[in-house]
Amino acid sequence: MYDIVIIGSGPAGYVAAIRAGQLGLKTAIIEKNVIGGMCLNWGCIPSKAIMESAKLFKRIGKDAGRFGIGGIDKKALTFDWSKAIKRSDGIVKKLTTGVEFLLKKNGVEIIIGEAHINSASSISVNNRNLEAKNIMIATGTKSPAIESTVEGLIIEPKELFKAREIPENIVVTGKTPVAIELAQAFNLIGKKVTILCPGDRIMPLADQYVADYILNKIKKDRIKISFETELTSTEGIYADGILSLGEDEIKCDMIVNAATRKAILPEIDIDMKLTEEGYISVDEDCQTSIPNIYAVGDVNGLSYYAHVGSAEGLHVVNHIKGIKQKLDIKKYPINMYTVPEAAQIGLTEADIKEQGYDYKISEFPMSANGKAMTEGNLDGFVRILSETKYGEVLGVQIVAPNATDLIAEASAYLEMEATIYDVAQTVHAHPTISEVFMEAGFEAVDQAIHK
Amino acid sequence: MRYIFKFPDIGEGLEEGTIVEWHVEKGQKIESGDNLVTMETDKVVTGIPSPKSGTLVKLYGKVGEIINVGDALVEIEIEGTETTEDPTDTKSHVEAVKEEGAGVVGTLEIAGSGAVLSASTEGVDETPEEAPKKRKTLATPVARAMAKDLSVDINKVEGTGPAGRIMKEDIQNYLQSAKTSAPAASSTGQVFTPEENLVEVEPMTQIRKTIAKNMIQSKHNAAHMTLFEEVEISELDRIRKKFKAKLADDGVKLTYLAFVIKATAMALRKFKSLNAQMDMDAGTMIYKKYYNIGIAVDTDKGLMVPVVRNADRLSIAEIAAKITEFSEKARDGQITMEDMQDGTFTITSYGSIGGLFAVPVINYPQAGILGVGRIAKQPIVKNDELAIGLIMPLSLSVDHRIADGGETARFVNQVMAYLEEPTALLF
């Protein structure tokens, strides 16, 4: 009898498994593919590795001369996707091996195979029957398939990060930050990119102000975007490298499917409640409609972020061990690996209006920050939304080259329920990008110094 | 040198006070003894004088905010001395108190971390050491701001955050449960929420809290027994009218109450158990040989009880002058802690507003309280004939643990005798 059997070894499942092992629970983790799941193998890590290559490529061409580096012939620069992938593979290998090592070190049994849930306490895998006191489903999500008879036209993210030729004209479908990020990466290496965006705005979870800023940026970079466009099949609208959408004829050699992802449900013999969108329905402790079966990570539809999945996984293990905590995903940062990066935490301006707070916005531009100037990155801002009575920091949004790292400071503000007075009083070293926080704090309290 | 003046304990065991009014501003030069701020404590509204001369560099707290005893009130830059001392170093301040504090402001001792009144019997040395030992309550900045704003004692809130940290939500839940639990326990079972607009929910003032605490303490500890009487005071009224104009020339109002105070004080001299208190723990009776009569005064802030000291030795004119002084002070919110200390017996003259008889609540730990009802002309039987009398209703509550029935009745008879024939007070 296992204390817990975890299905899926992505960042929600494997983190929970390590924690369960540490707490002395008899733990097994079942993975049908590779350890580390999407995040490590064909999500977060490879996409970031490729993005770094793409940014460096662009930067060398654009900035080398201006930064005093001679001998670079801009026209002679080429981008080798396969070589970039090789570097990425090295990183992935290092990380997945590390995860496997940690699982074993903490006494977690790793089973490669496809799980089948027979009952609330029984799972079959590879003709084996496992009895479990608790089951954690961490099977993740995938983009709904786009039907096409043209071989190799539709590329899933899972297939993208492999050694391959990247053609000239690329269509990316989707509205999430992942879709924008991929489109920008292709744009940086000189490809012609079109985004097909279902709905009327990109990055629906982002504050409108952030989304608008990024939208302006991608338009400026000549990435085409077509709103209210959902692609489910290329049948009858694709021929000879041309995708015909109404009157639009889009040159297209490859379609990257980055549409909003749907739950991957495990095989299960008992009834489990799902949400309207088909995710596994869970309560505030990530418990499903079946007691002792939990669902964490993307599959419960609460969030598509690895760090949220990990936090949920840890929460469930603690919950099983009787450690009481509160899971408040509004206090977790949302990172968008666009160019420049965007990140936010807490309430958006729309949330704040809806909840009826009296609020104040203080914004400080990167263009007034000394360190940003030296780095030659003037895009972006930090924006603090605070309520006026106590000065509580309700939400923070950042657009900056390293926004996804800068947001960590704001996470601490939210976690500790800090006020703008605390922000303003926290001395930030000079010269750093992080000074923008202090300046925004000054502005919220009274007036910024360098604005 | 930067000097931090902390809110001193100006009474006996005060914990906190609310800022009523600042009399100074940041940057202003002040002299030692200048009135800095008016504070409402749970007993009085009083001015706090500055212990030092210098320039005010910082005022802590806005009007309406609660300041705990021992917390910083103002920062004063004292000229001519070097700024070597870290103003936040509490230890050095405790020392500063010892060497320079005493006597600078008369009755006020400069507060160290645990401030004391110089007149207090508590030692200066032991108190400051206790306070810093108390563990600081963990709370988020927002929770602190909210607690301060909503007058929530943060030490009473249970924290649900990491390491027991008090979060914003904990303050909200505390307030919610405070709102719902108290009225829910009432017989009506009604729960008041501010959203209904049918009720107004506001934080209790310090004085109201004290009144509530004292009333319950009295009802809980004393064995109340009340005796009602009526006394005919035509003669007293004649004398009062005769001297009224004379005293009015000195701005003094001669009221019936002045006579009642005098009569009571004189009677107390004859019946010692009515001017006593008991110490159950020590197993002793304490008979006081001074007769300080508290008079219940109705003010906008609530009930206050200033004390006419040694009333037995004062003339009625002197007592009347004292009453006039107290009513003026009450009107201006100027009654001080000192005015209210050391009472041995209390008189409440609700009758000047209305009401014939009442069951007054003893001003614990005193032994008795005399209520004076509305004075009115009434038919009386005099020499077997109907006549018009001036009747003063009296309601005397005593602590039956201390005073027996016979003693109580004899005491009332004596008071009545003095009121019926005030010239007897001269003998």
The answer to whether the peptide bond before residue A177 is cis (omega within 30 degrees of 0) is: no
Per CB-CB distance under 8 Å, the chain A contacts of B149 are 389-390
Does residue B213 sit in the same domain as residue B296? yes
B119 pLDDT higher than 80: no
Q: Of the given ranges (A84-98, A385-399, B12-26), which has the lowest mean pLDDT?
A: B12-26
Mutate to test the interface with A, among B140, B142, B168 (most CBs of A within 10 A): B142
The mean pLDDT of B185-210, rounded to a whole number, is 66
B180 pLDDT higher than 80: no
Q: What is the mean pLDDT of chain B?
A: 80
B145 Cβ under 8 Å from any chain A Cβ:
yes
Q: Of the given ranges (A159-163, A199-203, B128-132, B319-323), which has the lowest mean pLDDT?
A: B128-132
> What confidence tier does B196 reach under pLDDT thresholds 50, 70, 90?
low
**Within a domain: B99:** yes
Residue B392 near residue B231, CB atoms below 8 Å: yes
Q: Hey, CA dihedral for A385, A387, A393, A394, is it positive or negative?
A: negative
Q: In this predicted structure, what is the pLDDT of residue B352?
A: 87
Contact A419 B160 (CB under 8 A): no
Q: In this predicted structure, what is the pLDDT of residue B113?
A: 32
Q: What is the CATH number of the domain that holds B313?
A: 3.30.559.10
Parallel, antiparallel, or unpaired for β A381-387 and A393-400? antiparallel
Cα(A303)–Cα(A261) distance, integer angstroms: 11
Closest CB to A419 among B142, B149, B160 = B142
Does residue B229 sit in the same domain as residue B188? no
Closest CB to B141 among A326, A389, A417 = A417
Q: In this predicted structure, what is the pLDDT of residue A121?
A: 94
Domain residues for the domain of B158 are 149-196
Find residue A122's DSSP bridge partners: A119, A131
Nearest to A211 by CA among A409, A88, A348: A348
Q: pLDDT exceeding 90 applies to what percent of chain B?
A: 41
Residue A269 near residue A183, CB atoms below 8 Å: no
pTM of the prediction? 0.59
Does residue B232 sit in the same domain as residue B290? yes
The mean pLDDT of B183-208, rounded to a whole number, is 63
Does residue B245 sit in the same domain as residue B332? yes
The mean pLDDT of B335-352, rounded to a whole number, is 90
As given in the structure block, the two tokens for residue B360 are 């007054």
Q: Of the given ranges (A132-141, B173-182, B184-193, B307-316), which has the lowest mean pLDDT?
A: B184-193
The mean pLDDT of B401-423, rounded to a whole number, is 94
Q: Which of B109, B133, B157 is the last residue of a domain?
A: B133
Q: Residue holding tokens 């729960």? A: B191
Q: In this predicted structure, what is the pLDDT of residue B194?
A: 54
Residue B54 near residue B2, CB atoms below 8 Å: no
Give the end-to-end CA distance of chain A in Å, rounded to a whole number: 64
Measured in angstroms, the CA of B142 and the nearest CA of chain A are apart by 6
What CATH number is given for A165-257 in this structure? 3.50.50.60
> Looking at the domain A2-142+262-330, which fold is it?
FAD/NAD(P)-binding domain (3.50.50)
If one counts every other C-beta atom within 10 angstroms of the C-beta of residue A107, the result is 15
> What confidence tier does B187 reach under pLDDT thresholds 50, 70, 90?
very low
Convert A194-203 to b/e letters by CB count within 10 Å (16 or more is b). Answer: bbbbbeeebb
* Segment A418-437, tens digit of pLDDT: 999 999 999 999 999 999 99
The ranges assigned to domains in chain A are: 2-142+262-330, 165-257, 340-445
> What confidence tier does B89 reach under pLDDT thresholds 50, 70, 90?
very low
Nearest to B6 by CA among B64, B91, B75: B75
Q: In this predicted structure, what is the pLDDT of residue A114?
A: 96
Cα(A282)–Cα(B131) distance, integer angstroms: 48
* Segment A170-180, tens digit of pLDDT: 999 999 999 99
Q: Which of B106, B133, B160 is the last residue of a domain?
A: B133
Q: What φ, ψ does residue A251 adopt, rounded to 5°?
A: -65, 130
Does residue B112 sit in the same domain as residue B173? no
The mean pLDDT of A324-329, rounded to a whole number, is 84
* Segment B128-179, tens digit of pLDDT: 444 444 567 889 999 999 998 888 888 888 888 877 889 999 998 888 887 7
Parallel, antiparallel, or unpaired for β B385-399 and B376-382? antiparallel
Per CB-CB distance under 8 Å, the chain B contacts of A421 are 141
Nearest to A391 by CA among A315, A350, A442, A445: A445
CA atoms within 13 A on the CB side of A242: 8
Look up residue A298 and give its amino acid: D
The answer to whether the peptide bond before residue A431 is cis (omega within 30 degrees of 0) is: yes
**Within a domain: B144:** no
Q: In this predicted structure, what is the pLDDT of residue B101?
A: 34
> What confidence tier does A323 reach under pLDDT thresholds 50, 70, 90?
confident
Does residue B232 sit in the same domain as residue B381? yes
A149 pLDDT higher than 50: yes
DSSP state of A249: E
Q: In this predicted structure, what is the pLDDT of residue B21?
A: 85
Domain A340-445 has CATH 3.30.390.30: yes
What residues contact residue A264 under an 8 Å CB cut-off, 6+ apart? A139, A140, A141, A142, A299
Cα distances (Å, whole numbers) of residue A45 to A36, A39, A41, A299, B155: 10, 6, 7, 20, 47
Q: In this predicted structure, what is the pLDDT of residue A264?
A: 95
Does residue B117 sit in the same domain as residue B156? no
> What confidence tier does B98 reach under pLDDT thresholds 50, 70, 90?
very low
Closest CB to A422 among B141, B143, B149 = B141
Look up residue B260 and give its amino acid: V
Establish whether A430 is a catalytic residue. yes
DSSP state of A274: B
Does residue B170 sit in the same domain as residue B233? no
Helix (H) or strand (E) holding B253: none
The mean pLDDT of B280-307, rounded to a whole number, is 89
Helix (H) or strand (E) holding B403: none
If one counts every other C-beta atom within 10 angstroms of the C-beta of residue B336, the result is 17
Q: Hey, CA dihedral for A246, A252, A258, A261, is it positive or negative?
A: positive
B346 pLDDT higher than 90: yes
The reply to whether A165-257 and A340-445 are identical in fold is no
A274 pLDDT higher than 90: yes
Q: In this predicted structure, what is the pLDDT of residue A407?
A: 97
The total number of structural domains in chain B stands at 3
Does residue B214 sit in the same domain as residue B188? no
Does residue B159 sit in the same domain as residue B293? no
B106 pLDDT higher than 70: no
